[in-house]
Amino acid sequence: MDINEAIKKYFYYLQFEKGLSEITLIDYKDDFKSFFKYFPYIDKTSFLSEDILIEYTFKMSLDNLKTSSIDRRISTLRNFFLFLEKEEIEKNLIKNDIERINKEKRLPVYLSQEEVKILLNTPDVSSIKGIIEKVVLNLLYFCGLRVSELVTLKLKDINVEEKIIKVIGKGSVERIIPIREEALDFINLYIKEYRNKHNFLNSKYLLINTHGNPLSRQSIYAIVKSVSIKAKINKNIHPHTLRHSFATHLLENGAEIRAVQEMLGHSKISTTQIYTHLSEKKLKQAYDLFWKDE
């Protein structure tokens, strides 16, 4: 159906069946004007999709709109989608529950690619301490691991030949993540210079303390904090900062959002939408890649 015809039907419904006030209807009209500012090419309802709402959120975030404004506009479009489904104009527009934006939510700190480079080059790998720091930072950044996933990572989960690691995430869901050869080199160095020399062969976990037990979450936090201080990066950095930076940099370099979703282990793509610090150019590249097979 022609998009303008569908919108007219929707506003008739809002005015005469829902009984909304003229002021509220004006607000709704403004929300639609905002939407078409970002998506002027949409002229048929068949072009609408759940992913359009996600991209719309991205673009408004880039323009630094208040979260309350973004939340309202997404709500307006979502209700329009539901109306189209109810009237059987379109089907399956809303496949998942799109999470409303938390008005109090603040995006976590993330690092630029240059800051990550500085951070990763800070550990002194001529010492065992520095090698351990390097392994921790590489796995957090290059694989986007959660702290809980890092401390439970087992030796058998690392496939050196295939250059992948197996991770058990939330809900015991298993996922496969590529790992850079550079990170594998330091893991091998860590195993050779630390684990093997201290006869920790019976421990199934990769990262262990001097007693052969898995490193604690607190130890991982302490390592990240200590290295960030040495690197003189003036940001409040913690392990999640590297996971957040991992996702941001993937999207900046044109990765498809669903691929990032899978690597992060998010059950819903809407959770991945917080990683939206993209330049307009990089966002368009990611968007074009996403739709190239449609």
The Cα–Cα gap between 235 and 153 comes to: 28
Catalytic residue among 59, 195, 238, 243: 243
d(CA 283, CA 287) in angstroms, rounded, equals 6
Residues 6+ apart with CB under 8 A from 286: 251, 254, 255, 256, 257, 278
Of 110, 141, 194, 275, the active-site residue reads 275
243 is catalytic: yes
**Annotation marks residue 72 as catalytic:** no
194 in catalytic set: no
166, 175, 230, 240: which one is catalytic?
Answer: 240
Determine contact, residues 85/94, Cβ cutoff 8 Å: yes
Active-site annotation holds for 146: yes
Q: Which of 59, 73, 238, 266 is catalytic?
A: 266
List Cβ neighbours of 36 (8 Å cut-off, separation of 6 or more). 42
- Please give the Cα distance from 139 to 242 (Å, whole number): 9
- Is residue 103 part of the annotated active site? The answer reads no
Angle at 53 between CA 51 and CA 56, to 5 degrees: 110
Specify the DSSP class assigned to residue 178.
E
CA distances from 143 to 155, 183, 241 (A): 15, 9, 13
Question: Among all chains, which residue has been given the structure tokens 């929707």?
Answer: 10
- Which listed residue (8, 105, 170, 284) is catalytic? 170
How many C-alpha atoms does 128 have within 13 Å on its Cβ side? Answer: 12
Tell me which of 73, 134, 146, 249 is the catalytic residue.
146
Catalytic machinery residues: 146, 170, 240, 243, 266, 275
